[in-house]
Homo-oligomer: A and B are copies of this chain.
Amino acid sequence: MVLLVEGADSPQRAKTAINLIRYCPDEVVAVLDPPNQGLTTLETLGIESRFPIISNLSESEGADSVVVGVAPSGGLVPETMRPAIREAILKGWTVYSGMHQFLSDDTEFAALVASNPGKIIDLRKNTHRTVATGEALSEDQLRILTVGQDCSVGKMVVSLEVARELQRRGSDAAFLATGQTGILIAGDGIPMDAVVGDFLNGAAEALARRYSDNSILMVEGQGSIFHPRYSPVTLGLMHGVQPHGLIYCMEAGREFFGGMDVRIPEIGLQIDTYETLTRPGKHTPVIGVAINTRKLDEQAAREVVRELEQQLKLPVTDVIRFGTEPLLKAVSSMKRNG
């Protein structure tokens, strides 16, 4: 597949593309980003790869699909991306989009698809219309949900890295995808933020129930419980998935919610709120912290991890920089105790 990232105003907005490069390298062919043609993905997206940055789909040999690789706030397709989408449909390729604005509802694209061999898959399109039962989910499995201080702090990456490492060690752990990027990577999941309000908990519950045979579920979290924009989806996952433990995800140095001038509440209050609110009547512990230290050098990163461990008396790691070991131990220890 070719990743479309033109129009992303910052690498953070291109997190779909970045994570497909990281987790699905065998399926990626190139990155389409005309203004940056010839640069490397390390220079434009902050991630090393062998994939060229091209300015025209004709340069991408062997591709048969394009992915809208940005996640702009509000979910509108950047205008600059429309020519490539048009061309892909004409070529008979598949266009994957995780935008709230469905490509299949776009007058021009709908008409193109009707008379050309290409097709559109809107990852956020869903018809979830089931209220949660609220009945207890399996107690034979361990469910761990990633939560966090904000969006884009690494919740998906943490859930995925821990699940993959558990699998490598012989566990039948599963990664549960709840956002468009996770769904592309896992090939399954529920686009929680596109589900109608009354059915959020029900959609999360149904997803968890579908995996009731796995001994461990690592559930991708969304948003943040105090987020002025995206808090409801967070709570829908907390109540729908009924997790036994939480991993708190954060970025070193982040003080304000992304793109807003609202200060993020202090970590103690957040952990307390997550632990109290998740399961009515039951304490749901934060079992570890995943901190994203990409903006720090190695030594500063080690220091911030150590300080946080001392402050919170919890295992802390940056899963990309220092690996998942402390979190794996925390998960395994819950499994033994449970």
Which positions in A face B, CB cutoff 8 Å? 73-75, 100-101, 129-132, 134, 192-202, 225-233, 235-236, 239, 257, 260, 262-265, 269, 273, 276-277, 280-281
8 A-B contacts, Cβ less than 8 Å apart? A74-B131, A75-B198, A101-B129, A132-B229, A193-B197, A195-B196, A196-B196, A273-B277
In the assembled complex, the CB of A214 is this many whole angstroms from the nearest CB of chain B, namely: 22
Question: A225, B281: Cβ atoms under 8 Å?
Answer: no
In the assembled complex, the CB of A283 is this many whole angstroms from the nearest CB of chain B, namely: 11
Q: Which of B74, B194, B195 contacts A130 (CB 8 A)?
A: B74
Name which residue of chain B comes closest to A270, CB basis.
B280
Task: Tell me which residues across on chain B come within 8 A of A132, comparing CB atoms.
Answer: 228-229
Question: A280, B264: Cβ atoms under 8 Å?
Answer: yes
Question: B134, A198: Cβ atoms under 8 Å?
Answer: no
Task: Tell me which residues across on chain B come within 8 A of A192, comparing CB atoms.
Answer: 197
In the assembled complex, the CB of A309 is this many whole angstroms from the nearest CB of chain B, namely: 26
Name which residue of chain B comes closest to A134, CB basis.
B228
Task: Tell me which residues across on chain B come within 8 A of A194, comparing CB atoms.
Answer: 196-198
In the assembled complex, the CB of A102 is this many whole angstroms from the nearest CB of chain B, namely: 11
Instruction: Report Cα–Cα, A54/B265, bound state, in Å.
Output: 56
In the assembled complex, the CB of A58 is this many whole angstroms from the nearest CB of chain B, namely: 34
In the assembled complex, the CB of A5 is this many whole angstroms from the nearest CB of chain B, namely: 21
Task: Tell me which residues across on chain B come within 8 A of A134, comparing CB atoms.
Answer: 228-229, 257, 260, 262
Instruction: Report Cα–Cα, A226/B276, bound state, in Å.
Output: 10
